[in-house]
Amino acid sequence: MQRRRLTLPALLAASALTLAGCGGTEDEPATGGGGDDAAAADYPTDDITLYVPYAAGGPTDLAARTIGDCLGTEFGQTVVVENRPGASGSLGMQAMLAGGNDGYSLSLIAVPATATNPLQQDVGYTNEDYVPIAAVTEIPSVLAVGADSEYADAEAFFAAAEANPGQLNVGVPGATTSQAMELQRLAEEYDVQVTAVPFTGNAEMTTALLGGNVDAIFINASEDVLANIDAGEFVPLAVSPAEQVDYLEGVPTLAESGYEELTNSVSVFGLAAPAGTPEDVVQTLETTVSDCLEQPEVSDQLGEEYVPDEFIGTDAFADRIDEIVETYGPILQE
């Protein structure tokens, strides 16, 4: 994995940690992991705070609480899950960085959002300020229409979009999400133009599609969406990964529909730590997350279909983020 430099927010956090670490006496040393070799070797010896940069009840919150419970059991320490929603997920990242780089301050990150936020504006961190530890869940996006739609399959939908540039409205979960950016790439790279209509989440998008206010939605294939597909309310036309999704049997990928490059709209939720966290602490966390994901009860809570078939550890997670930055950076900085 490439070495990530420690930039201003993490440096400030590290400085604060150093000052706090001076609070112990010779007879009673400070606790909380000092970041030195001895503390890293004994990690963890204290409570861990796991920040969730989104509101309670969503898929990130579920992933954080499930993996947090397992880490707590495996480590024999309390993992405190704390929601810090706001600023497109940036407040939670800032809280993690301020907590210090000793392994006791972690965050649940959502990629691509976590990686693209610093490319759009000053959010108090950069992609060099944190270290991805391991992915917990992976949720693809699905392009879906309502049950009464005139578009029975992807071929019909994209043919109509090509014949009527900009006339088809597609709901997306935010103006700068991977779904919105993939639709922008659809126009720029394949000359197929639809109008992306941003919403704040799945509930709004579902209401809009069922109410006929949009022609389609490009949405995370989370459990609520799968329930609507199973009920016949949504008709899936295409999925975003490079390969078809087992639990959406027979639904073609966008690549199979003729858009070979549109494979990046997949939400990956995983753990991260501030840059400068000792490598053996990162390795301990990575290994423990892997062990947790092997446990049937953890997989069931997360949704077995969303746990990656192949474990995405530190290096692979960092590569995924680098790919997102390389792909979406030019679009966001136009």
- pLDDT tens profile 31-87: 334 445 656 779 999 999 999 998 888 788 999 999 999 999 999 999 999 999 988
Strand partners, 258: none
Give every CB contact of residue 25 below 8 A, 6+ residues apart in sequence: none
**Are residue 28 and residue 121 in the same domain, yes or no?**
yes
Q: Is 196's pLDDT higher than 80?
A: yes
**Are residue 37 and residue 100 in the same domain, yes or no?**
yes
**Are residue 53 and residue 127 in the same domain, yes or no?**
yes
Residue 325 belongs to domain with CATH number? 3.40.190.150
3 state DSSP class of 98: helix
Residue 50's CB is within 10 A of a number of other CB atoms, namely 22
Residue 217 belongs to domain with CATH number? 3.40.190.10
**Are residue 132 and residue 271 in the same domain, yes or no?**
yes
> CA-to-CA distance for 107 and 96, rounded, in angstroms?
6
Does residue 251 lie in a domain region? no
**Are residue 209 and residue 302 in the same domain, yes or no?**
no
Residue whose token pair is 């991805």: 132
**Are residue 304 and residue 207 in the same domain, yes or no?**
no
Does residue 24 lie in a domain region? yes
> CA-to-CA distance for 157 and 186, rounded, in angstroms?
13
Distance linking the first and last C-alpha atoms of the chain: 29
Q: How confident is the model over 244-268, as pLDDT tens digits?
A: 999 999 999 999 999 999 998 999 9
> CA-to-CA distance for 84 and 91, rounded, in angstroms?
6
Strand partners, 50: 81, 106
Q: What is the pTM of this model?
A: 0.79
Does residue 225 lie in a domain region? yes
What are φ and ψ of residue 253, in 5° steps?
-85, 160
Quick one: pLDDT at residue 40? Answer: 73
Does residue 221 lie in a domain region? yes
As for how many domains the chain has, the answer is 2
**Run of H or E residues at 319:** helix 314-332
Does residue 244 lie in a domain region? no
Give the range of the structural domain holding residue 230, as residue numbers without chain letter: 140-239
- Mean pLDDT of all residues in the chain? 88
Quick one: pLDDT at residue 86? Answer: 86
Does residue 259 lie in a domain region? no
**Run of H or E residues at 8:** helix 8-21
Radius of gyration of the chain (CA): 21
Quick one: pLDDT at residue 277? Answer: 98
Q: Is 16's pLDDT higher than 80?
A: no
Work out whether the CA dihedral 132, 224, 291, 100 comes out positive or negative. Answer: positive
* DSSP 8-state symbol, 305: G
> CA-to-CA distance for 27 and 259, rounded, in angstroms?
66
Q: How many CA atoms lie within 13 A of 321 on its CB side?
A: 34
